[in-house]
A and B are shown apart, each in its own frame.
Chain A
């Protein structure tokens, strides 16, 4: 039949994007879309039943990711994606729950939730797009902003010491910690795929340009110029000690898989503890569809 000859070739990632919501809101040269491409490829390759995947975002430019993913997706409040995802995961442990948000959302207003979810080893994959600024509100200083660059609320350059997020996640107990830039699309997708197969608190930081605000205000050129910088100054160091991977303004960027270990998840611990305590009276929670 002639229909067989019709070109039916589609980019494989399209099936997982809400095409009725395109065009997206992100600026030309922004790296968030690149991370989404990596994420969707990772999911397609993961072998997960995608009906069981939920994506949860907070607020901000990266907070809009959930809205473009054609899966169960939840756009919550500023900084609170992790506790929403915690409730969702614990209510139905058969779900694979991914938190996808920005550095300001996750580490400033959401910082408390971040450290406690890592401490509990909550079974969540957290993707943090770090662009060193608050994009949605016009370029204010973030907890990740390195010393030096100008932001609207640091008009004479940032004098506040930044977080080293991989170190924070590691110190709090994350079982998997990796950092890549949006130049490293294959490595980032691979880390996400690996992260999806882990049980426990997974933290993946994706360094991404914000050409409209951070780059422009600091005369760093456009998106492509930042990619060149990522290419030239990234140093791959798998297994690096996370305390050594802090970032400086336009300095070297240590990338790689820093942490990969096993720890019982919060639910494993609860089920194990109650099984010992209550013996045969206790029915393992989360067996079939989280109903028990």
Chain B
């Protein structure tokens, strides 16, 4: 279906990534945001608070990020498309509700405008160091989806994808911005509502009595209801059976866990989104995501002028990780180069995919700014030798 025109600010804009992300959420149909101020993400909720009264929806500034991250889950079960927005320290506080969202299969979007850490770290400066936290930070096993935009335009475009994926798979979806993408101002084109595809929640057509909250078909994604529809569901963060009732035994746990993981793992080919440039025939492939992809692009251009066959594989979706594609390339590529604004996180996934079939060169960065293109260029030239 098409986007609701009430939320779509069609036209050409000159705005930063935080503002564009907010417009993306509104266009995607997000009508409930609970948040707590934190640099460098605050502009997203500021814009939402200013826009939502006349769009029709609601913003509430909660008492902390713990409250924000569960208020959105309550709102989702009342039928709204929901989002919360934060940065590292707030994300740390939200961990328990990433787990609750995963086990209760509540569609929701978490925006993380990454800054340097750990702890208070670098509030106003960029990092890409929360990539493993979103994947592993809440206790237990679970699967999530993460997107890494590299421009204000993508903050708009990919936010719609983020909401569509949250509704399709009923998992928490992470929108992994960083301080630079959040605060850089560029041209953002917002199309007409009729040109924006929006996926609605998979509502059940079953009658109360025949509906079971966690019964599924081959898609492994159960149909949803909302509170007030008369279904009298029970939803719990305990391990539960198809009815949603607590079932605390190893058999129920295995059945539930397998489905929660497989609904993402078995769909990873559909989910993976890599943008490749000159990868076929390349000796060296730079793997990047988010803002670092733009710096890497500059280095790759110079390396090519120097005659090096270097390709660029940019992960737009960072989780699930494109392991199959990288493994495929590993059989013929000499080296992978992985620049990221952390001390080496996604490079571990690359190494796992490559399995020693090619060399993997990490270009870590402690955070606070982006890489110098020269640093990436130097590694490309070294690998080419």
Interface residues of A (CB under 8 A from B): 18, 20-21, 51-52, 54, 56, 66-67, 70-77, 80, 82-92, 94-95, 112-113, 116, 266, 270, 274, 278, 281-283, 285, 289-292
Is B324 interfacial (CB-CB < 8 Å)? no
A91 and B80 contact, CB distance less than 8 A: yes
B58 and A90 contact, CB distance less than 8 A: yes
Closest A residue, CB atoms, query B52: A285
Q: Could you tell me the distance between the alpha carbons of A74 and B86 in the complex, rounded to whole angstroms?
A: 25
Q: Could you tell me the distance between the alpha carbons of A278 and B51 in the complex, rounded to whole angstroms?
A: 12
Known: A67-B245, A70-B232, A80-B97. A87 touches B72 (CB 8 A): yes
Is B15 interfacial (CB-CB < 8 Å)? no
A86 and B74 contact, CB distance less than 8 A: yes
Report B-chain residues with C-beta under 8 Å of the C-beta of A74: 74, 77, 227, 234-236
B67 and A83 contact, CB distance less than 8 A: yes
Q: Could you tell me the distance between the alpha carbons of A77 and B106 in the complex, rounded to whole angstroms?
A: 14
B235 and A290 contact, CB distance less than 8 A: no
- Minimum CB–CB distance from B38 to chain A (whole Å) comes to 17
Partner of A84, one of B70, B238, B246: B70
Residue count of chain B within 8 Å CB distance of chain A? 44
- Minimum CB–CB distance from A107 to chain B (whole Å) comes to 15
Report A-chain residues with C-beta under 8 Å of the C-beta of B366: none
Report A-chain residues with C-beta under 8 Å of the C-beta of B68: 83
B70 and A87 contact, CB distance less than 8 A: yes
B32 and A90 contact, CB distance less than 8 A: yes
Is B281 interfacial (CB-CB < 8 Å)? no
Report A-chain residues with C-beta under 8 Å of the C-beta of B73: 76, 84, 87
A87 and B32 contact, CB distance less than 8 A: yes
Is B228 interfacial (CB-CB < 8 Å)? yes
Report B-chain residues with C-beta under 8 Å of the C-beta of A266: 60
Cross-chain pairs A/B with CB under 8 angstroms, 26 sampled: A18-B245, A51-B228, A51-B229, A54-B227, A66-B234, A74-B77, A75-B235, A77-B70, A77-B237, A80-B70, A80-B96, A85-B74, A87-B73, A87-B76, A87-B82, A88-B77, A92-B226, A95-B78, A95-B227, A95-B228, A112-B63, A113-B63, A113-B67, A116-B62, A278-B54, A289-B228
A91 and B232 contact, CB distance less than 8 A: no
Q: Could you tell me the distance between the alpha carbons of A2 and B236 in the complex, rounded to whole angstroms?
A: 43
Q: Could you tell me the distance between the alpha carbons of A285 and B57 in the complex, rounded to whole angstroms?
A: 7
Q: Which of the listed residues B64, B67, B68 has the most CB atoms from chain A within 10 Å of its own CB?
A: B67
Closest B residue, CB atoms, query A54: B227
B232 and A71 contact, CB distance less than 8 A: yes
Q: Could you tell me the distance between the alpha carbons of A82 and B53 in the complex, rounded to whole angstroms?
A: 24
Known: A95-B228, A289-B228. A56 touches B74 (CB 8 A): yes
Partner of A72, one of B58, B63, B100, B233: B233
- Minimum CB–CB distance from A1 to chain B (whole Å) comes to 26
Is B373 interfacial (CB-CB < 8 Å)? no
